[in-house]
Amino acid sequence: MTSTPIPGPDAPTPAGREATLPDDGLQQGPLIPPRTATTGEPMIAINAVSKWYGSFQVLTDCTTTVSKGEVVVVCGPSGSGKSTLIKCVNALEPFQEGQITVDGTKVKDRATNLPKLRSRVGMVFQHFELFPHLSITDNLTLAQRKVLGRSPADAEKRGLDLLARVGLSDHAKKYPGQLSGGQQQRVAIARALAMDPVVMLFDEPTSALDPEMVGEVLDVMVELARDGMTMMVVTHEMGFARKVADRVIFMDRGEIVEDATKSDFFGQPRSPRAQHFLSKILSH
Amino acid sequence: MNYTWNWGIFFEPSPEGTGTYADMLLSGLLWTILTALASWAIAFCLGSIVGVMRTLPSKAARGFGTAYVELFRNVPLLVQMFLWYFVLPELLLPAAGAWIKQLPNAPFYTAVICLGFFTAARVAEQVRAGIEALPRGQRLAGTAMGFTVAQTYRYVLLPNAYRIILPPMTSEFLNNLKNTSVALTIGLLELTARARSMQEFSFQVFEAFTAATLLYVLINVVVIVAATFLERSLTIPGQR
Q: Is the ipTM of this complex over 0.90?
A: no
B162 inside 8 A of chain A by CB: no
Residue A106 scores a pLDDT above 90: yes
A123 inside 8 A of chain B by CB: yes
How far does chain B reach from its first CA to its final CA, in angstroms?
56
Element (H, E) at A153: helix A152-165
DSSP code for B71: H
- Nearest residue on chain B to A117, judged by CA atoms? B146
| 8 Å CB contact between B28 and B190 | yes
| pLDDT for residue A17 | 40
> Per residue in A146-203, pLDDT tens?
999 999 999 999 999 999 999 999 999 999 999 999 999 999 999 999 999 999 999 9
**B26 domain-assigned:** no
CA distance B119 to chain A (A): 27
A133 inside 8 A of chain B by CB: yes
Q: How confident is the model at residue A36 (pLDDT cuts 50, 70, 90)?
A: very low
Q: Which residues of A touch B131 (CB under 8 A)?
A: none
| 8 Å CB contact between B199 and B6 | no
| pLDDT for residue B101 | 82
CB contact under 8 A, B236 and A133: yes
Q: Which residues of B141-164 are buried (b: 16+ CB within 10 A; e: fewer)?
A: bbbbbbbbbebbbebbbbbbbbbb
CB-nearest partner of A146 from B137, B140, B147:
B147
**B75 domain-assigned:** yes
| pLDDT for residue B146 | 95
| pLDDT for residue A277 | 87
- Nearest residue on chain B to A178, judged by CA atoms? B238
Q: What is the pTM of this model?
A: 0.86
Q: Which residues of A touch B155 (CB under 8 A)?
A: 131, 142, 146
Cα atoms in the Cβ-side hemisphere of radius 13 Å centred on B189: 11
CB-nearest partner of A178 from B135, B155, B238:
B238
Q: How confident is the model at residue A29 (pLDDT cuts 50, 70, 90)?
A: low
Cα atoms in the Cβ-side hemisphere of radius 13 Å centred on B141: 26
**B111 domain-assigned:** yes
Residue A20 scores a pLDDT above 50: no
**B130 domain-assigned:** yes
**B195 domain-assigned:** no
Q: Which domain holds residue B41?
A: 33-189
Indicate the number of domains in chain B.
1
**B239 domain-assigned:** no
- Nearest residue on chain A to B154, judged by CA atoms? A146
Q: What is the CATH number of the domain that holds B116?
A: 1.10.3720.10
Q: Which stretches within chain B are classed as H helix?
A: 21-53, 59-74, 77-82, 88-91, 94-102, 106-133, 136-144, 149-151, 158-179, 191-202, 205-233
- Whole-number Å distance between alpha carbons of A6 and A68: 10
Residue type, A7: P
CB contact under 8 A, A132 and B240: no
Which residues 155-214 in chain A show a CB within 8 A of chain B?
Answer: 174-179, 191-192, 195
Question: CB neighbours of A257 closer than 8 A, spacing ≥ 6?
Answer: A76, A250, A251, A271, A273, A274
Residue A2 scores a pLDDT above 90: no
| pLDDT for residue B2 | 81
Low-confidence ranges of chain B (pLDDT < 50): none
- Whole-number Å distance between alpha carbons of A13 and A5: 11
CB contact under 8 A, A147 and B238: no
CB contact under 8 A, A129 and B159: no
CB contact under 8 A, A175 and B138: no
B140 inside 8 A of chain A by CB: yes
**B219 domain-assigned:** no
**B228 domain-assigned:** no
B156 inside 8 A of chain A by CB: yes
DSSP per-residue codes, B14-36: PTTSSSBHHHHHHHHHHHHHHHH
> Per residue in A220-272, pLDDT tens?
999 999 999 999 999 989 999 998 999 999 999 999 999 999 888 988 877 88
Q: Which residues of B touch A150 (CB under 8 A)?
A: none
- Angle (nearest 5°) at CA B126 between B120 and B127: 85
Q: How confident is the model at residue A33 (pLDDT cuts 50, 70, 90)?
A: low
